[in-house]
């Protein structure tokens, strides 16, 4: 099915206008906020994200630690290989 080029151009133009309007709005809001107000909004946002994100389960914590241990063991093997390879070359 061929693409209607004119319809595509119109949709792209509308999308561009929407993006420009959003950028203008963010710029306007940024100019109106003091640094303290902006930081307060950021801190509130971070607090909300912490409340929305549940604590990982014991299994998830254990799995992550095991994954990190596997990663560091692999790095240690790589470093040992690199040292040995460098000495014989």
Going by C-beta distance under 8 Å and a sequence separation of 6 or more, which residues neighbour residue 56?
64
What are the domain boundaries of the chain?
1-53, 57-89
Q: Are 65 and 56 in contact (CB under 8 A)?
A: no
Whole-number average pLDDT of the chain:
88
Q: What is the Cα–Cα distance from 59 to 47, expressed in whole angstroms?
A: 25
What are the tens digits of pLDDT across the range 40-68? 989 999 999 988 988 888 999 999 999 99
Q: What is the reported pLDDT for 47? A: 92
Q: Are 64 and 56 in contact (CB under 8 A)?
A: yes
């Amino acid at each position: 099915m061929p693409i209607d080029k004119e319809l595509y151009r119109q949709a792209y133009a509308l999308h561009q206008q929407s993006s420009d309007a959003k950028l203008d709005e963010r710029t306007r809001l940024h100019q109106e906020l003091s640094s303290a107000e902006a930081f307060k909004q950021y801190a509130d946002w971070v607090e909300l994200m912490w409340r929305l994100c549940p604590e990982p389960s014991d299994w998830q914590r254990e799995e992550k630690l095991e994954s990190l241990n596997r990663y560091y063991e692999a790095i240690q093997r790589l470093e040992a290989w690199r040292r040995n390879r460098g000495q014989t070359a």
